[in-house]
Structure formats: C-alpha cells, structure tokens
Structure 1
Amino acid sequence: MDKLLFEPRKGVEFTKRTEVPLLKVEYVVYQTALTRMIADWLGGKIGVGAPNEIGEIENIAEVNKLVNGETKEGFLDKDAQFVYNEMIQIKVPGHLKVATSHRKWLRLTYSFLNKIGTTFSDRISDLIRRHDLSKYTHREVLGYAVMFGDGSIDWRQLEIEAEKVEWDNTLHNHYAGNPHHPEYFYPLTEDGKRDRSVPMLQLDTENGKHYLDESVIDMLAARGERTLADDKNFIINKWLAIDEKYFFRYAEDDKKYVKERLSEYKELAQEFFSYEVNVQSVQGHFDDRPVVLREMSVCEPLL
C-alpha cells in the first residue's frame, strides 16, 4: 500500500466488492469515474474547495493515482460518464471539499498546539500529513457523500438499503485504515460491540501515544471547524472543553491519556495567553475571529 495510507490490523480486511448497488454498476466503472472526478476537482474543473498548497495537491493526487487508478485521458465511456454524473448528484465533490477543509483545520490545530509549547514526537508531523487521506479513496468516498453530502447536513437517517450498504462499508474501511480512531485497535465482538479490554497503549506500545495524540488533534480540529463555527470569538478554553460523550469510545487507559493531554494543553494555553505578545501572535490563526483564552464579561480586560 502507498506510504500515505495504513493497512488494516492483522485479522481485519478492507471490504472487497465487484459492484456498487447504489450506482448499479461494476466496481471498476465506479473507480474509473472517481479517478477522473478527483483529478478534475484538483484541477478546478468541477466543484469547489480544492487545496491551493502544492504539498496537499500532491498528497491527494498520489492517493488518487495509486489507490483509485490511473486517470484516463479523453472522454469517459458511456457507463463511466453516467456514474460521474450520478456522483455529482450524490455530492461527491462536496465531500472532497469537506475532507480537505478538515485536513486544513487539523494542520491549524497542530500548529497552534506547537505555538503554545506542546511537545510532540517527530512522528506526529507525518501522521498529520497522512491524516484522513483514505477519505479520497474508492473505499470511502461514496459513503461519506451519502451520509454528509457537502457538509451542510449532519448525520442522516438512511432509509435506502443501498445507501446503508455504502455507509456501513465506508465506516468499516475508515476504522480499518486509520489508527487515530481507537476502533482500529478494538476488535468487534460477536454482538457487534467493540472490545475495549486491552487499550491501544498496550497493543501498540511504540505508536499508541502518537495515534492518541493524533486522535485528540482530530477532535479539536472538528470542534473548532464545526461546533464553534458560529461563535463570535474563538475561545480556547471552550475549544479544549471536549464533551464527556466523546471519551466513551476509548479504553480506560487510553481515555486517561487523552484527558491528561487536554489538561496539559489548557495549562500551556493559560501560560501562553498571559503574555500580550503571544495573544497578538495568534490572531487570525484559525479564521477572521478574535482568538481569546476565555469568554470575557463586559468590564473584564483582555488579560
């Protein structure tokens, strides 16, 4: 497999299919249409939200070529063109935009944590580069587009069986190929639940903390981009206050590590924001909103 993507753990496999029920075509036709669509999207021929950074374009293009297939020049045949048009209706280009926006927020989150003095291993920068690139592959694109479209909707209640099939395949493949999700390490039991008896810190002692760090950065990126999107200020303490419901997916030792890291970030942020020069240095870091440590009362000064 391409160095940008992870293989599943031993005993787990990616879904293998010969056809796509949702599109009513052979799988190879879908792959051909998807390869062209991603190339067109990167080239600005379709959709919006394609990356501007050379490195980001190269990463996505490499995954498209090595995993989805070579982009064929000229006109697509009738079947592939039909699938291409159907994927536009399903909002696949919108999904590509959402995945790219999230990767950008991930990089912004990582760089902010570095700015306030967080210590990361050299491995983390590579994990950030590879993060969620599987969302551009044939294994995941359709399911994410079906469930979330262009990001203007939240989780859908899927009623069409072919859509359920796509989402189930996508979720399985995403967990199977992304170790920043604890589900990558926790096997499914016969009743369909995850076995969290052995934490990922024990299952992969060399990389467990790295993947958990990536997992925390992932949660913060999603929270900053979506949950706090309508706030007039980007409030760091609110950003770092992850809801307890998001910790249930971790084994106890893994959860303890994640919470300790978040507490560390809060302490570092408190110290960082005690200096005016630091406060000014992060203005505009995430977007156009003022970046503040906490919500202020009317009479309270900035520091």
Structure 2
Amino acid sequence: MNSLLYQPREGVEFTQRSEIPLLKVQYSTFQTALFCLVRDWLKGKVGVGAPEEESVKNDITEVNDAVNGDGLKDVLDEETKPVYDEMVKIKVPGHLKVATSHRKWLRLTYEFLQKIGATFSDKMTALVRKHDLSKYTHREVLGYAVMFGDGSIDWRQLEIEAEKIEWDNTLHNHYAGNPHHPEYFYPLTEDGKRDKSVPMLKLDPENGKDYVDESIIDMLAARGERVLAKDPEINVKKWLAIEERYLFRYAEEDKVYVKECLKKVEKLAEDFLSDVENEDSFYGHFDDRAVVFKPLD
C-alpha cells in the first residue's frame, strides 16, 4: 500500500473484483485505462482542473503510479482506448477536478483555522496532505463520476444497476480507506446500520482526536466550497452553522467534541475578524471574496 493511502481497519477489506459491469471489461483493462487517463489529466491533455502546485501534482502522480499503474502496461491500445474514451464520457476527468478542488479548499480551510488561532497536533499537516487521495484510485473514481460527475449535479437517484454497483463499491472503499470518516471506525451491524457504541476518540486513543479534527476541517471545506459558493462574501458565522443532520454520523461523544470545537472556532474567528486589518488579510484567501464575521439573519 502506498504511504499516502490508508489500510482498512482490522476485519474490513477493500472490495476485490475481476470485472467492471458498468464498462463491461476486465478489471485490469479498466485499471490500465484509468492510469493513462489520470496521467493525461495531470498533463492537461484531457479534462480541466488539474492542480498547478508541483507538490500536489507529485502526490497524485505517486498514487497513480503505485496504485493504478501497479504492474500494468502504461500505453493505450485497441482494448484500453475505448475504455479510456468511455470514462471521459461518464466524466471521470470531471470527478478528478472536483476532488482536486475540494482538497485545495481543505488546505485553505486548514490555513484559515491556524491563522485565527485554532490549534492542531503536529500530525495534521501530513493528514491534510493525504486527505482524499484515494479518490484518484481505481477503487473509487467510477462511483464518484457516476454520482456527481463534474460537480454540476448533486446526489443522483441511480436507477441503472451497474451504476448502483459502482456507487456502493466506491462508498465502501472510501469509508474503508479514510479514517477522517467516522464510518471508518464504526463497523456495520447485521441490520446495515453503523455501530457507534464506541467513539472514534476511544477506538484510536493515539490518532482518534486527529481524525475527528480532520473530519471537522473536511466538513467546513465542503460547506465553504459548495453551500457558500454563490454568496458575495464568506460569512464565517454562516460557514460554521453546521446543521444537526450533518452530525448524525458521529457517535455521541464524538459529536459533543465536534460541537465544542465549532464553538471554539466561532469565538476565535469572531475575535480575529473584529480587527479590520485581520479581516483584510483574508481577502482573496479562498477566491475573490472577503471573509467576514456577521450575525445570521
């Protein structure tokens, strides 16, 4: 396993498949086509939204080489070219763009939180670097492309069985390989629900708090990028107003910790942004909007 990716918890495995029903091909054929597609996307030969930062490019390249291209040929032929073209058609490059945009928002959110005074362990910078790199791998790209495409659509109601298979496969693998998701720690019970009897904070005393902190940064990054996308300015008060329905995934003790953290961040942001010079320092941090702190309507 590449050092930038995680292994599943004990008792959990990534799905193993020999065929891809959606593409009607052998798994190795799909994997080769994907390796070439990610490589071409990074070079700007297909799709848009590839990262400009060399360090980010290098991390994705490392994952693509080690995981997607592991032991496989790295050229398209008459067998793999149609699969490549079909993945372009179902917007796999669009998914890569969305994943890259979110990871950038995550890094910027982390920097914002640090600047206003939020504190994290020394591990967080490495966790942010690794965040969601699994979304560039053969285990996840198809399901995300099917469900969200290039980000212009929200959750779809999947009706085609092959698409449902891909989404279920992707979601299982993403949870299994990303400990910033509570689902990584909470095993599935026989009735299909998550066992939240033991919180992340206790299941992994060494790293659990860091993973919960990463989940908070992840939640804020997603909310900032999507929910506040059309707002003329980024109101931090609104940004932090996470609805209860987004917290149901946590065990009770983890949820209490998350709420306490959000309150602390709100106070830090209010104090920091009350200084006009500090407010001005964030202009253009995320995009061309000001970052402000205002009461909710």
TM-score normalized by the length of structure 1? 0.96
Aligned to 1:177: 177
CA gap of 1:260–1:43, structure 2 versus 1, over 3 A, is same
Cα deviation digits, residues 204-243 of structure 1 (max 9, x gap):
0111110000000000000000011011111010001111
What is the identity, as a one-letter code, of the residue corresponding to 2:117?
A: G
Aligned to 1:231: 231
Q: Secondary structure at the residue paired with 2:213? A: helix
Compute the displacement of 1:46 (Å): 0.5
> C-alpha distance in 2, partners of 1:10/1:24?
32
What is the identity, as a one-letter code, of the residue corresponding to 2:55?
A: G
> C-alpha distance in 1, partners of 2:142/2:273?
43
> C-alpha distance in 1, partners of 2:225/2:168?
25
Aligned to 1:188: 188
Aligned to 2:120: 120
> C-alpha distance in 1, partners of 2:283/2:55?
25
What is the identity, as a one-letter code, of the residue corresponding to 1:202?
A: K
Aligned to 2:93: 93
Q: Secondary structure at the residue paired with 2:150? A: coil
Compute the displacement of 1:127 (Å): 0.4
> C-alpha distance in 2, partners of 1:274/1:46?
45
Aligned to 1:301: none
Aligned to 1:206: 206
What is the identity, as a one-letter code, of the residue corresponding to 1:158?
A: L
> C-alpha distance in 1, partners of 2:192/2:269?
40
Cα deviation digits, residues 128-184 of structure 1 (max 9, x gap):
000000000000000000000000000000000000000000000000000000000
Compute the displacement of 1:270 (Å): 1.1
Q: Is the 8 A contact 1:143 1:166 kept in 2?
A: yes
Cα deviation digits, residues 270-299 of structure 1 (max 9, x gap):
1101212211111111111121111599xx
What is the identity, as a one-letter code, of the residue corresponding to 2:185?
A: F
Q: Secondary structure at the residue paired with 1:259? A: helix
Task: Pick which of 266-275 and 219-228 moved more.
Answer: 266-275
Q: Is the 8 A contact 1:36 1:72 kept in 2?
A: no
Aligned to 2:111: 111
Q: Is the 8 A contact 2:17 2:27 kept in 1?
A: yes
> C-alpha distance in 2, partners of 1:161/1:73?
30
Q: Is the 8 A contact 2:35 2:74 kept in 1?
A: no
Aligned to 1:9: 9
Compute the displacement of 1:265 (Å): 0.2
Q: Secondary structure at the residue paired with 1:264? A: helix
Consecutive aligned runs of 4 or more in structure 1 exceeding 3 Å deviation: 70-74
Compute the displacement of 1:10 (Å): 0.1
Compute the displacement of 1:73 (Å): 5.1
> C-alpha distance in 2, partners of 1:157/1:279?
41
Map of 1:3-82 to 2, 5 A cutoff? 3-69=3-69, 72=73, 74=75, 76-82=76-82
User: Superposition RMSD on alpha carbons, in Å?
Assistant: 1.2
Aligned to 2:250: 250
> C-alpha distance in 1, partners of 2:4/2:281?
32
Q: What fraction of aligned residue pairs are identical, expressed as a percent?
A: 69
What is the identity, as a one-letter code, of the residue corresponding to 1:227?
A: V
Cα deviation digits, residues 18-65 of structure 1 (max 9, x gap):
000000000000000000000000001000000000000000000001
Aligned to 1:158: 158
1:268 aligns with 2:268: yes
> C-alpha distance in 1, partners of 2:20/2:142?
10
> C-alpha distance in 1, partners of 2:295/2:212?
29
What is the identity, as a one-letter code, of the residue corresponding to 1:199?
A: P
> C-alpha distance in 2, partners of 1:286/1:50?
17
What is the identity, as a one-letter code, of the residue corresponding to 2:192?
A: G
